[in-house]
Amino acid sequence: MFNQFSLMFTNQSNKMKQTGAAKRSSYLYVLYVVIIVLLLFLLGCYLYNEKQRIGQFQGFKTDNLPEEHISPLQQSKEEKDKKIDLVALKVCDVFTGKWVLDEVTHPLYKEDECEFLSEWVACTRNGRPDSKYQKWRWQPRDCSLPRFDAKLLLEKLRGKKLMFIGDSIHYNQWQSMVCMVQSTISSGTKTLSHTAQMSIFNTEEYNTTISFYWAPFLVESNADPPDKRDGKREPIIMPRSISKHGKNWKDADFLVFNTYTWWTRHSKIKVLQGSFTNETKESNEVGIYIMYEEVLRTWTNWLEQNIDPNRTSVFFSSMSPTHVRSSDWDVNGRATRKCEKETEPILNMSKPVDVGTNRRLREIAVNVTKSTTKVHVTFLNVTTMSEFRKDAHTSFYGSRSGSLLTPGQKLDPRTFADCYHWCLPGLPDTWNELLSLYIINKS
């Protein structure tokens, strides 16, 4: 019996051992499964949070970093178009912001790499010793601008015509636009030509024309002929005569107008009775505010009657400021000094600066451009941003009548320092960056 009991105990013991081993195996298996599930859960949580963090980072915008630190390095044209449309124009007032020193992305081109840049505004070539004025980037208050893309702009201009119409400030801006895009165009497929009223840049590669048309008052004036543009004679205008100029604007796809500088000489302007072809020319003087509005009304009436808004986009650039009294921005400045020694912008942008811009003319321009019913006019408000750029004028480093200033002339800044026009590369490049946003959006 003992042997039977012993054998039974042994068998039972073996069964218990086998059962215990099986239970331990089951416990270990369950433990492994729990650990694996927990690890997968933690990994999923990490990946989800990482995705959220990256999404937040991509949506983050900063005033201090260059644009390439904000956007992905590789971005399709469709994504760029969407960004320009939604961020820069629909959400943000791109004309309100501040100047940020950016030595990485600016200037947008090198002076010596633009074969079409004239001596008139090539300040470095003409001996200007500083170059910091080329490196300021405009940062809107509420958004970041996309990096300027010359190829994208040219694609939007393919088969189209862009025309600047106005005075020498617009000629300044036209030269800037040519320099901003020309480096991306194959050599041998781009040309520059001039006529009595026009300067025309053409690229065969894109079948695109970027031109400038001289009309400082938009309507006919005695400043229209090539030999009458030196400003040495009193301007005379025909405020209701615009068709002679206008016939040259009709086939453009983008029209960019300005008129301001020639209006600021006196409180009155001469108005011609008759035409410039008559031997006897009678004129009377009328206040500039009355005539400025009448001329702009003549212009908008011409637009309404001659422009197809489904084809052509129309822009009006606000006033380009001057910096002719250093006392305007420096309490210790002397009224006898102009912009000739300025090397930095006005950096205190917490309040508007008064450099003598005629605000009443600006108000007239704003109201008239809003009054159109058929043709929408986009008002490019570049005045305030430009008023802070006392450093960006050609001053002693442009040419007058085709010649550089002599050492003796540089001793007389009141007479010879040009604080109207702008060095290139420089401020007009920013005007064109903003204009390009609208062109790309409208295309």
* Residues annotated catalytic, as ranges: 168, 418, 421
- Which residues are within 8 A (CB) of 101 and not within 5 positions of it... i.e. 6 or more apart? 132, 135, 136, 137
Which residues of 288-369 form beta strands (DSSP E)? 313-317
Q: What is the largest CA-CA distance in the chain?
A: 152
Distance CA 296, CA 298 (A): 5
Distance CA 344, CA 6 (A): 105
> Beta 393-395 vs 418-422: how paired, if at all?
antiparallel
> Beta 268-273 vs 236-238: how paired, if at all?
parallel
Which residues of 223-371 form beta strands (DSSP E)? 236-238, 254-257, 268-273, 282-287, 313-317
Alpha helices in 96-246 (DSSP H): 150-156, 168-182, 243-246
Query: Rg of the Cα trace of the chain?
Result: 33
* Residue 350 DSSP SS3: coil
Q: Name the packing angle between helices 288-306 and 359-370 (round to 10°).
A: 20
Measured between alpha carbons, how far is residue 193 from residues 10, 201, 225 in Å?
112, 7, 17
Residue 187 corresponds to which tokens in the numbers above?
A: 């050599």
* Residue 211 DSSP SS3: strand
The DSSP letter of residue 319 is P
Distance CA 187, CA 203 (A): 10
Q: Is 11 exposed, middle or buried (0-12, 13-18, 19+ CB in 10 A)?
A: exposed
Q: In this structure, what are the phi and psi dihedrals at residue 263, rounded to the nearest 5 degrees?
A: -85, -10
Distance CA 7, CA 1 (A): 10
Residue 422 corresponds to which tokens in the numbers above?
A: 């702008």
Residue 423 and residue 132 in contact, taking contact as beta carbons nearer than 8 Å: no
Of 235, 220, 69, 39, the residue nearest 137 (C-alpha): 69
